[in-house]
Structure 1
């Protein structure tokens, strides 16, 4: 249901950066944050660049051009390096965070895209293969970030694998498999699929977030646009709610017990977690058409959104909103 809560509880727009490349066409993908230097990085996948902004002010500072089709960005503070997945010919790269110079590569099958980092085991999980790479199956690659070496690979008999979320205190990795309309549960110790949880009544599950403490997994679908809440102890769906359309990002705000879904239709959906099984839509915040990729940065209580201009329009923007208590 939709709440009649005061609009003062919804995120508010506080900034927008638009001037760095008015000729940009196509889509943006994921953000990453350099916590040492307060830099915000954005993968401009259809432009073959990574854009660097000041995290606080949003000012554009640099365009990195050593990429084919960049997707996911991860900063590793201990190593002071970035890992940036790339489905282009250059492949996935490791960058020195101070100079942005390429200092290594991770050897993967074509089509590297989604990435997740497991702090508990200090392992990266990177998806490669799939239909965009001309393959009928995908691989989940377990990578040592210190060396860039692939330690193990899990073959997924599906041509599309998307978001992944590892448990921080458990042994499971949750994986969206949109071509099969399900969530695959992977045992991190054996790197095998131990369960498959179907999503009834919806397809194209692209986004995911985890509330590990309450044993709840949040999954966003596009067809139709829904928010699914799954019990991670049973795999059962405990709630479904309507969501903004064409979303590429979903994030859980554990400090405020909220879920946010960014839609390409120009809406940010905001949901309150009343308890583990009950959820209320607080409302929708107007953003911008194409603002479907985003990130919650909890230290600043900010939501960053990348405004993709699409194939037929030019420009692009980064906007940020303040999360309200």
Structure 2
């Protein structure tokens, strides 16, 4: 099982923090360190709403904008990661960040759960011919199937994920992992947002996950988006030590059950049915991408890259048309006023 340390944005934009995180976990036997190439305008609209922070409610767009780094930053991060014998992995959120990663010479990238329906991004990734790891939180089986077909020419690994922070252990439904593999014809791993360093990772190993991604940070009080649910270095090292100790066990599930207890393991295993997790259901269609106006539109205005974009809707805006229709909408004209930020719906066109 390949183990990925998801550092994400937990470095706070400081190379010294990147080095420190890598050094603190490097003694553990893991394989890959992952980061996120954040460009706010590729992710959300400035009117997407507020996020609660210690200093008070802050626009979510500003929160993402504060995490942006220059391309040279990722060049150094890649070099520092590979100098420690680890694979470098990074998530792009749109065409510009994907182009930046390709310029670094990466041989695989990670697609985050909300971007699994970002059809233009998936098409661009597929055309690159590089390996892809794609998380599937807040996604239906139909969403996963469409992404699988969009990335049909790619070396693709899916990660089962619950897009909730933190994710309840009981939402993981790990019995579905082999079924997901059969349904897609792809290998599956797990991206774990639960708080415990051992429970979901151990059950992932027991059911045959090929990859485990777990957030890691220097401190839960850090400035990274996912720091509150990340493992601190000592917890990450403990997780890997415990997982590697299980490698010699003949019966994986028995070994994990002995370690965690039958009731807890059963709760994590679930019932095999592939569905949205209870904790993420209300976010479906809002955490995901749809087509939004990026300026005020008047009747007769044409849709193109200057007037629409594929963005996460979040809680304050109206969801729009599915991104699979982005190319079809190009040069179509709206028949009524569409406010800046609103999702573009079919009634705006007919």
TM-score by length of 1: 0.27
Q: Choose between structure 1 and 2: higher helix proportion.
A: 2
Q: By percentage of residues, which structure has more strand?
A: 1
Q: Which has the larger radius of gyration?
A: 2
Structure with bigger RCO (C-alpha 8 Å, 6+ apart): 2
